[in-house]
Structure 1
Amino acid sequence: MARTRRTRSSAADAPQDDGQATSDRDELQTDGDAVKGAASTATAGFKTSLARFQYGEVQPNNGDAKATPPHQPTRKRPLTDSNDTPTAPSPSPAKRRRPSSRYAPPSTYAHLPKLTDILEPNLICIFVGTNPGIRTATAGHAYAHPSNSFWKLLHASGCTDVRLRPENDVDLPKWYAMGNTNIVERPSKDAAELSKSEMAAGTPILEEKVRRYRPEAVCIVGKGIWEAVWRWRHKRELKKHEFKWGWQDEKERMGGVEGEDDGEWAGAPVYVTSSTSGLSASLKPAEKEAIWRPFGEWVKGRRRERFGTEGRVDRVVDGQAAETEEVEAEAAIQ
């Protein structure tokens, strides 16, 4: 049996290029060059964009183009502790508050002198404060603390034609037909050192003063004072809707008397104004003036009716004496 011997095909037996293969290779070469060109362009564009975020000065591409400013961080890094844990900035120290006062027994300020009432019969009005402060008791004159706005509001409202000083409290009856007293006699640092019971207990004493001197009106200098009077009279707290600034109801008159010996007297009407203490900050100065002003207008009107003047009464009542004093003063100067 004859064997068939296989031999490798020679180059002559291989298929010949017909030109199509050459064309395909040229096309692939062209595509490769295009891909490389695109990649090179993309790389150059990325590097150009990246240059915007580099620190330092970036040179312009040409004479007309402007350099892109370096990237600037817009957020600060948070504070960190030793463990690299972000922490919030420490807050500013809180403002120190004045410690609140508590009740102080009378013995605490027993060494201070008592303040004398400035009262006379038939005045146009009397002012009722809470009690003398330490500065007032030491000075011996009403509302003597510099932060107290009593004398300022007295002038701003029209009760006086000039701003008086605490030392002029003794001249109030003679100059303006007005007087001054308090619902509690003993001094203290502030009203918080008084008890509600002793403030309420001062009401009958106040009523007796009004009954004795019979002023045309009583001016309560502070809401807390009127609340104390209310507690004594009605045996309960004053409700929010029951309180009002200014003139109170007719039934709330003070010092009224009945009887044949003293004669009938309905009592003095009551006007409630804001507190003048420097510690009272619940109302703005303009609001306090608005509360005081109607009473000042009323006082001026009554002074005009009684004495023919809105200013100092002694210039009218003692006009001859005042004129003589001025003449003597002028003569002494000459």
Structure 2
Amino acid sequence: MSLFAPKEDEVDEEVLEESPTAECLSRFQASLSRFSYNFDATAGVGHGVSASNFSKTVQTSPSKKDRSMKSESSQPVASPLKRQRIDEEQASDSEPLEPVSPSKKAKGKRPARRYAPPEVYAHLKPLNDCLLQSLDIVFCGVNPGQRSAETGHHFGHPTNQFWKCLHLSELTSERIPPSEDFTLPERFRLGLTNIVDRPTAEANELKDTEYKEGIAPFLSKMVRYQPRIACFIGLKTGRIMLDHVTRTQTSRSVRPVFAPGLQPYKLIHSTSVEHSRDCSTSETLFYAIPSTSGKTQSYQIPEKVTLFAQLRADLKKVKDGSLSSANFLIIK
């Protein structure tokens, strides 16, 4: 027997002394295993989250979400005056020649055009008026748009809502295509003209002085053809016309506030021999309706149709004599 070999009774004693401690430790570790957490990176697979992107999926920052909701809920509602101003900026018989793609919309609005001298659009010709004596309504646009000038027809761009509004308001019994604009006077007693003759791509390319210079020729047409109502398509034209009429007839403190619809002035017609045979109206009233351009977003189609329908209702009153214009200013 080796001198260093352990005695059997000593070994057994050592094991017996350590066994209770080892057993307790084992039980304690087993009890802790119930509270352990094992991360499984593939747990999201099959439930809309890939394993590779699992670590990238984080919750949206509450502060950023709150700011987004606050921004959406706090959009201001445009006041009537602001809507008129927006309409004036966008009013035109012209439209974008190409549809705007969603990607372009996302990048932001295209900047508004600025004044363009006549030589820029010298290749485009003015439109012919569609007029006859004593029509019910003569619609006066701002100026020919580029598409209208190219086709030779009023409100010629496919996105312009003029012809749709005419039909929906029952001023025409059917929707007339722009190519048949010349049939309006005889078929529906409606006429077409513009306050400015020269074409542009957008109304912003005109100067205010061009509107003002167009008033005298326009009124000369109204004196000659004597319609019951002249309706401006574009609020800026109506505003400039009201300023022209009231500037010399009323003090600034009592001038009427401009608003869409029936205007507070009229044109009295003479009963000269030249017109006595054909003239069936003694005065022309004036109306203003927002631009029917597809770019005008401040007034939606239902609102425009409502104004066109009101125009039709007022025309009926003019015909049966129930609309009084006794207090209207007289254009001199």
TM-score by length of 1: 0.62
Quote the offset at 1:43 in angstroms.
Answer: 2.0
**In 1, Cα distance between equivalents of 2:310 and 2:156:** 24
Residue 69 of structure 2 corresponds to residue 53 of structure 1: no
**In 1, Cα distance between equivalents of 2:181 and 2:272:** 35
Quote the offset at 1:164 in angstroms.
Answer: 0.5
Unaligned 5+ segments in structure 2 are 1-17, 43-52, 59-102, 322-332
Quote the offset at 1:181 in angstroms.
Answer: 0.7
Question: Given that residues 242 and 258 in structure 2 are in contact (C-alpha distance below 8 angstroms), is that contact kept between their aligned partners in structure 1?
Answer: no
Residue 130 of structure 2 corresponds to residue 118 of structure 1: yes
* CA displacement, residues 275-333 of structure 1 (integer Å, 9 cap, x when unaligned): 11122121222222222221134446778x79xxxxxxxxxxxxxxxxxxxxxxxxxxx
**In 2, Cα distance between equivalents of 1:220 and 1:176:** 18
**In 2, Cα distance between equivalents of 1:54 and 1:137:** 71
**In 2, Cα distance between equivalents of 1:56 and 1:212:** 85
Question: Given that residues 226 and 269 in structure 2 are in contact (C-alpha distance below 8 angstroms), is that contact kept between their aligned partners in structure 1?
Answer: no
Equivalent pairs, count: 242
- Structure 1 counterpart of 2:285, one-letter code: P
**In 2, Cα distance between equivalents of 1:202 and 1:35:** 109
Q: What secondary structure sits across from 1:163 in the alignment?
A: coil
* CA displacement, residues 153-190 of structure 1 (integer Å, 9 cap, x when unaligned): 11111110011111221111111111111110111111
Quote the offset at 1:111 in angstroms.
Answer: 2.1
Q: CA RMSD in A?
A: 3.7
**In 1, Cα distance between equivalents of 2:162 and 2:34:** 77
Residue 132 of structure 2 corresponds to residue 147 of structure 1: no
Question: Given that residues 118 and 179 in structure 1 are in contact (C-alpha distance below 8 angstroms), is that contact kept between their aligned partners in structure 2?
Answer: yes
What corresponds to 1:283 in structure 2?
299
- Structure 1 counterpart of 2:292, one-letter code: T
* CA displacement, residues 116-165 of structure 1 (integer Å, 9 cap, x when unaligned): 11111111110010000111112111111111111111111111001111
What corresponds to 2:286 in structure 1?
270
Residue 42 of structure 2 corresponds to residue 42 of structure 1: no
State the structure with bigger RCO (CA 8 A, min sep 6), 1 or 2. 2
**In 1, Cα distance between equivalents of 2:244 and 2:318:** 30
User: Superposition pairs for residues 187-226 of structure 1, below 5 Å?
Assistant: 187-226=199-238
What corresponds to 1:294 in structure 2?
310
**In 1, Cα distance between equivalents of 2:34 and 2:164:** 75
**In 2, Cα distance between equivalents of 1:47 and 1:112:** 86
**In 2, Cα distance between equivalents of 1:192 and 1:223:** 13
TM-aligned CA distance change 1:200 to 1:37, over 3 Å: farther
What corresponds to 1:28 in structure 2?
none
Q: What secondary structure sits across from 2:283 in the alignment?
A: coil
Quote the offset at 1:245 in angstroms.
Answer: 2.0
TM-aligned CA distance change 1:155 to 1:55, over 3 Å: closer
| Residues 41-50 or 219-228, more deviating | 41-50
TM-aligned CA distance change 1:260 to 1:132, over 3 Å: closer
Q: What secondary structure sits across from 1:269 in the alignment?
A: strand
Quote the offset at 1:114 in angstroms.
Answer: 1.7
Residue 184 of structure 2 corresponds to residue 172 of structure 1: yes
Question: Given that residues 223 and 273 in structure 1 are in contact (C-alpha distance below 8 angstroms), is that contact kept between their aligned partners in structure 2?
Answer: yes
Quote the offset at 1:232 in angstroms.
Answer: 2.8
**In 2, Cα distance between equivalents of 1:296 and 1:273:** 12
Question: Given that residues 123 and 214 in structure 1 are in contact (C-alpha distance below 8 angstroms), is that contact kept between their aligned partners in structure 2?
Answer: yes
Q: What secondary structure sits across from 1:219 in the alignment?
A: strand
TM-aligned CA distance change 1:74 to 1:54, over 3 Å: closer
TM-aligned CA distance change 1:74 to 1:107, over 3 Å: closer
TM-aligned CA distance change 1:56 to 1:199, over 3 Å: closer
**In 2, Cα distance between equivalents of 1:273 and 1:43:** 85
- Structure 2 counterpart of 1:152, one-letter code: K
Q: What secondary structure sits across from 2:239 in the alignment?
A: helix
Structure 1 or 2, whichever has the larger Rg, is: 1
**In 1, Cα distance between equivalents of 2:303 and 2:140:** 20
TM-score by length of 2: 0.62
